[in-house]
Amino acid sequence: MRINTAYEGALGDYFADNATDGPYNAHTDRPAMFALAGDVTGLRVLDIGCGAGHYVTELRARGAAEVVGVEGSATLLRHARDRIGDDAAVTLYHHDLEEPLGFLPDDSFDLVVMALVHHHLEARRQLLAELHRGLRPGGILLVSTVHPTADWVWHGGSYFDEDRVETRFGDSGTTNSHRRMTMQTFLGELLDAGFALERFVEPRATEAARQVDEVRYLKTLRTPFFVAVRMRKI
């Protein structure tokens, strides 16, 4: 059965709001990913699963020359368009990431950002092949995902279980599913796709999160939530 994991309706609205200043997206994942990105000035960037446009706007504010966003949720694309406004250097596509990205040119992006999307997908190897094709030689792929240990702590069973699990989103009354996987599977699929690992981080919240939500801030200091990697196309 085909699973639709795009964040539509109430889940999309909840995510768009929460990702703006929430401890996990705004103050744990994004700072770690931008640290891995380094200077993005003048780069042509592809944002896979661009959500409500938080990465797109920050990439442009940091000097990216052009950003192409791909997103499966109509709800989140509406939020992204509102957030981004009128910017001729940004192009957004409504597209299911379980399908090939035939509209992407070959060898053209300097940087691909895929933040907290990868774990939702089944066609990960197909997508990684497409991203490899779209990157210029030596281009960079940044991926963040749920830390395998976090999934093991939250969902129990064996660390080596690679099943789909359902997660509740805060007090939104909505859920979504993702595939938990071992670190070996996560990194193995990236290496198999023709990328070399340059950096690996297990992000903790920045000090700014303490002002927003001290309980969750402290939680990220003792429990792994995400991993983030910088890979180079070889």
Which residues make up the interface to ligand SAM (CB under 6 A)?
5-7, 15, 19, 25, 49-51, 54-55, 71-73, 76, 96-98, 115-117, 120-121
Residues 216, 231: Cα–Cα separation, whole Å: 29
Taking the complex as a whole, how short is the minimal distance between the CB of residue 206 and ligand SAM, in angstroms?
16
- C-beta closer to ligand SAM: residue 132 or 179: 179
Beta bridge partner(s), residue 178:
165
Question: Looking at beta carbons, which residue is closest to ligand SAM?
Answer: 72
CA angle (13 as vertex; 148, 66 as ends), nearest 5: 75
- C-beta closer to ligand SAM: residue 133 or 160: 133
Taking the complex as a whole, how short is the minimal distance between the CB of residue 174 and ligand SAM, in angstroms?
12
User: Could you tell me the sign of the dihedral formed by the alpha carbons of 94, 181, 115, 177, in that order?
Assistant: positive
- C-beta closer to ligand SAM: residue 43 or 113: 113
- C-beta closer to ligand SAM: residue 43 or 56: 56
- C-beta closer to ligand SAM: residue 12 or 107: 12
Taking the complex as a whole, how short is the minimal distance between the CB of residue 165 and ligand SAM, in angstroms?
15
Cβ proximity of 126 and 48 under 8 Å: no
- DSSP-derived pairing of the beta strands 135-146 and 109-115: parallel
- C-beta closer to ligand SAM: residue 25 or 220: 25
Taking the complex as a whole, how short is the minimal distance between the CB of residue 149 and ligand SAM, in angstroms?
18
* Cβ neighbours of residue 109 closer than 8 Å, sequence gap 6 or more: 44, 45, 46, 68, 134, 135, 136, 139
Taking the complex as a whole, how short is the minimal distance between the CB of residue 70 and ligand SAM, in angstroms?
7
Taking the complex as a whole, how short is the minimal distance between the CB of residue 137 and ligand SAM, in angstroms?
25
Cβ proximity of 140 and 129 under 8 Å: no
